[in-house]
Amino acid sequence: MACIRPSLASVAVAAAAVLLSALLVSGCTGDNKPCTTCPPIEGTYALGFEETGAAGCDGGTPPQRDTLALTRHGASLSGHTEVWEDLTGTLYESGDFSLSGTTEDGGTGLDTVSVQGHYRAGIGDGGTPSLDGTWVESHQRSTPSGPQPCTLTRAFSGARQ
């Protein structure tokens, strides 16, 4: 029985094809760069939340509604809600955006938020722009037995007010 040895070039081509396929399936095609022609995301949005996961969280119910105010300078975003004061992030050519922030909770722990979302322009005359995505809050509280982590993941959507 003959042994077939693939050439180094054919192995490299096959590996590149597998990598390209994986990137295309995952949506990572390189098109998601910080915007140069940015969509008009700035404004105030009334957000509604739906809990999709809570790990290690006990007690207290997070707000089901909040208001997100966004400003934009080029591709750089800044924003705040009633709970989160200093959010910063990036707006991408695709309309996707990311925000994050960190705060200390009265000396009892550290809170962080990570937001991945998408801006949708209003359709037609008078159409209302909207946002949707995933909002992840991580809370760490000091307890007598050591740090107590909690991660809350919520889907969100909302229209510009």
Report if residue 22 sits inside a domain: no
Report if residue 33 sits inside a domain: no
Report if residue 30 sits inside a domain: no
Q: What is the CATH number of the domain that holds 118?
A: 2.40.128
CA nearest to 138, candidates 36, 53, 48 = 53
Report if residue 18 sits inside a domain: no
DSSP element (H, E) containing 17: helix 8-26
Report if residue 75 sits inside a domain: yes
pTM of the predicted structure, to 2 decimals:
0.74
Report if residue 143 sits inside a domain: yes
Helix (DSSP H) and strand (DSSP E) numbers for the chain: 1, 8
Report if residue 8 sits inside a domain: no
**Each residue's pLDDT expressed in tens, for the chain with a length of 161 residues:** 444 443 333 333 333 333 333 333 334 445 689 999 999 999 999 999 987 777 777 655 677 889 999 999 999 999 999 888 899 999 999 999 999 999 877 666 788 999 999 999 988 777 899 999 999 999 887 778 877 888 989 999 999 99
Domain that holds residue 154: 43-160
Q: Which residues contact 145 (CB under 8 A, 6 or more apart)?
A: none
Other C-beta atoms closer than 10 Å to the C-beta of 29 total 10
Report if residue 2 sits inside a domain: no
